[in-house]
Amino acid sequence: PTVINEILSSSLQTLSEDDLRPMSEAIENMDSLKTNLDTLNESIRAARQIERVYEQYNQIVLYDKALLFSDVVKSYENSVKNGK
């Protein structure tokens, strides 16, 4: 195995800085994109949590308004029924 490794290593062409630079830049760009993607996904999760809480709040407000409206309608119907 050592001999084979030496033969393969000696047959490989060494890469210059100019050869490695595009690969290095591509890897850095991929890392940057991954970081941005992770940040965006976290932002989406946070926004969805806010949306759920806001939706619950809106449902409660709607229920309270519907209940108040129902009470007002009943009161009005009673006043009309009693001639007031």
Give residue-wise pLDDT tens across range 14-55: 878 888 899 999 999 999 999 999 999 999 999 999 999 999
- Helix/strand/coil percent split, the chain, to 5: 90, 0, 10
The one-letter amino acid at 10: S
Per the domain annotation, does 36 fall within a domain? yes
Question: Could you tell me the two tokens for 58?
Answer: 């809106």
| Structural domain total, the chain | 1
What pTM does this model have? Answer: 0.60
Q: What is the mean pLDDT of residues 57-65?
A: 99
The one-letter amino acid at 17: E
Domain holding 61, by residue range, is 19-81
Per the domain annotation, does 5 fall within a domain? no
pLDDT at 66: 98
The CA dihedral of 20, 22, 25, 30, to the nearest 10 degrees, is -110
Per the domain annotation, does 57 fall within a domain? yes
Per the domain annotation, does 76 fall within a domain? yes
The one-letter amino acid at 65: K
Per the domain annotation, does 75 fall within a domain? yes
pLDDT band for 84, please (50, 70, 90 cuts).
low
Per the domain annotation, does 11 fall within a domain? no
